[in-house]
A and B are shown apart, each in its own frame.
Chain A
Amino acid sequence: KAGVTQTPRYLIKTRGQQVTLSCSPISGHRSVSWYQQTPGQGLQFLFEYFSETQRNKGNFPGRFSGRQFSNSRSEMNVSTLELGDSALYLCASSSVTSGSTGELFFGEGSRLTVL
């Protein structure tokens, strides 16, 4: 069974640009979460999607957005990039449906560098 796939793995952008990151969850998983990982802040929750609906959102500005498609693939977008957005963006999928918590399967991440 293929794991969680994230693309691109590495990318470099300049301030003010926007970026779109993609995540393909494990087949059959309908829940997809996104986390930002930085050395100073650790793993910070961005948002979670289930069946194309955003169920939870973290404390990030509106420049961070996401969506999920009918095949459970997800994308996140960051507009008007700032230097502080440089981070590893991790996607995780889960087979758990609603109202409970279970194992998250993480991808290898997309490392974004903003210059």
Chain B
Amino acid sequence: GENVEQHPSTLSVQEGDSAVIKCTYSDSASNYFPWYKQELGKGPQLIIDIRSNVGEKKDQRIAVTLNKTAKHFSLHITETQPEDSAVYFCAAPLQGAQKLVFGQGTRLTINP
């Protein structure tokens, strides 16, 4: 089955700086890689995703890169703002299933 590892578990950056979170996955057949943001007291919310036919995807200050050969993908947040403080999860699917295997999460803190 799929196994997803996420690093770091905590990350603290100054407002305006960039933040990078990295994940590795085990199943080379995986083809969909979402990132979720979870704010305090709320459920996770999709912020960006990438499919295996592209290497990078951007949405304003957020970008995701995918390296299928190395089986890792990363979340990049530029010009961080206080509202970016949250827990971020990467995930990969169990092949052919509506089941996501999540990384352990990264608690991102933006310092003003």
Contacts and interface: CB of A to CB of B under 8 A. Distances in A.
Interface residues of B, number: 23
Contact of B89 (A43, A45, A48, A99): A43
A42 B46 contact: no
Interface string A23-56: 0000000010101000000110100101000011
A33 B98 contact: yes
A48 B46 contact: no
B98 A101 contact: yes
Contact of B44 (A56, A90, A101): A90
B100 A101 contact: yes
Interface stretch (A14-22, A63-71, A106-114): A106-114
Given A56-B97, A101-B93, A101-B97, A43 B102 contact: yes
B97 A108 contact: no
A103 B46 contact: yes
A55 B101 CA distance: 16
Given A42-B103, A42-B104, A101-B32, A96 B43 contact: no
A55 B97 contact: yes
A94 interface: yes
A106 B43 contact: yes
B12 to A, nearest CB: 19
Contacts of B94: 56
A31 B98 CA distance: 8
A92 B102 CA distance: 14
Nearest to A6: B43
Contact of A4 (B43, B89, B96, B103): B43
B98 A96 contact: yes
Interface string A62-89: 0000000000000000000000000000
Interface in B38-84: 41-46, 49
Nearest 7 CB-CB pairs, A to B? A106-B43, A101-B93, A43-B102, A42-B104, A101-B32, A56-B99, A103-B46
